[in-house]
Amino acid sequence: MKKALLLVLIVILLLPAGALAQDMPHAGAEVVTNFMQSGTYDIGAEQLEPGFEEATGIELEIVASPFVVLVQNNITDLSTGTGEFDVISGDFWIGSVWNHMQPLDDLIERDMWGGSFIEGLMKQGPSAFFDGKRIGIPYSADAYGLIYRTDIFEEAGISADWETWDEFFEALDALEMHLEGSDIAPNVFAFGAYEQTPAIFLGMYDGYLVDAEGNYALDHDKAVAALNQMKSLLDYNPEGATSLSIDEANSVFLTGKAATMICWVSFVRAAAQDPDASLVVDNWATAPFPGPGFPFLSAWNLFISGFSENPDAAWEWIKYYITEEEAKRRFVELGVGSPFLSTYEDAELIEKYSHDFPNMVANLNRAESVPWIFAAFEIFFRHMGEFVIGAVDVETMLENTLADWSELEVPEGLLQSAAAQGQMQEG
């Protein structure tokens, strides 16, 4: 042991003066970062922790929490100025505290940092901005998608090149005729997971989400049309669809009992290609997500807290975690959607995911976030759930939603996001 210590001292003495400080300018700093406890993002961080600490000399603490706890912890920490977390993992759910995040433009320019990000994901909305300055960088990306059975479509002579929901419903009508007498449904969706239903509504709705006065609102006529169209999708779903969870809906598709499915593609991609978990291996593909609305986006960003005592060290962790190489690895090993175009252009991955990638990238480029704080989102899907099961009619559903929304304030950061994405009423 004494010989080892002596050797270390000799090496240090032989180094040029200031060499250690130059190579590790933030050595000794401490950074606390948080992630959702998902078995993906947090695991990806834990895998990088030893290498990051060795390369930078920065002590990293990773705090993983369930989604609701993470959101509340971030809002509490930033609204009180506690500064518990240096690097914050979040999305539009924490838009009420975006004003407390550190702008990142100068750091990005200083280090000439970047990568082949999917263009749409770097715009305001998918990426977090406040007062025109970037405050967040996406490290994951998933857009609500639509997958289909290529073998059934080929047998029926049906094209999956739809652009609108009307065209998709025409395909469902053709599927219904082709599948008559079988136990295969034209479509399946997790209608029992009420929090998922807004994704279909947003794809069918092309009106505003915030009115000209800055309040949560909906264009009545367009909302009614979208809600009714969404509910009509039940006619093409298997019996009992109003009680299907995400896992149960996925199982319907994986066991070959549905010709199409609306879903988070990342939730089913790996299983669909696993012969031990799927009966549709090599017989499915991702289709365009129809309009006139947009694919609902899940794009987690990393932020630096404005209360961090070590913002430069925090930035080192962001640069270490968000790289093209790590995004590809997390995609392959953990199923995390990548924000980098290079992942979807990788020759090795294209060979394996050729049925998936082209439309996935197109959907991500069109995808948008929403200006809803979590309370606004919960109000909407709770009342939508009542509408889906027939407990209320469409007018009552809208009336109840708007009444509850009137008690909420749209944060400034989400007002700016809504305006940037064209989700605000003109006036």
Rounded to whole angstroms, what are the CA distances from 87 to 56, 206, 237, 324?
A: 16, 35, 43, 19
- Domains 29-141+299-344 and 145-296+371-420 equal at CATH topology level: yes
Rounded to whole angstroms, what are the CA distances from 385 to 175, 195, 242, 374, 394?
A: 27, 8, 9, 16, 11
Neighbours of 27 (CB within 10 A): 14
User: Which H/E stretch holds residue 327?
Assistant: helix 324-334
Beta bridge partners of 138: 301
User: Which H/E stretch holds residue 224?
Assistant: helix 220-232
161: exposed, middle or buried (Cβ count in 10 Å: 0-12, 13-18, 19+) = exposed
The DSSP code sequence of 48-115 is HHHHHHHHH--EEEEEEE-HHHHHHHHHHHHHHT----SEEEE-GGGGGGGGGBPP-HHHHHHHT---
User: Given this model, what pLDDT does residue 22 score?
Assistant: 54
Question: What secondary structure letter does DSSP report for 135?
Answer: -
Residue in the structure block whose two tokens are 């970047």: 114
pLDDT tens readout for residues 75-95: 999 999 999 999 999 999 999
Alpha carbons 327 and 35: distance in angstroms, whole number: 16
Indicate the average pLDDT of the chain.
Answer: 93
Q: Which sequence spans correspond to the domains of the chain?
A: 29-141+299-344, 145-296+371-420
Alpha carbons 108 and 409: distance in angstroms, whole number: 32
Where b means 16+ CB within 10 Å and e means fewer, 81-107 reads eeebbbbbbbbbbbbbbbebbbbbeeb
Q: Which residues of the chain have pLDDT under 70?
A: 1-23
CB 271 within 8 A of CB 289: no
Q: Which fold has domain 29-141+299-344?
A: D-Maltodextrin-Binding Protein; domain 2 (3.40.190)
Alpha carbons 100 and 153: distance in angstroms, whole number: 50
Of 190, 181, 189, 178, the C-alpha closest to 152 is 178
Amino acid at 396: T
CB 349 within 8 A of CB 343: yes
User: Given this model, what pLDDT does residue 273 score?
Assistant: 86
Q: Which CATH superfamily is domain 145-296+371-420 in?
A: Periplasmic binding protein-like II (3.40.190.10)
Cα 250 versus chain centre, distance: 18
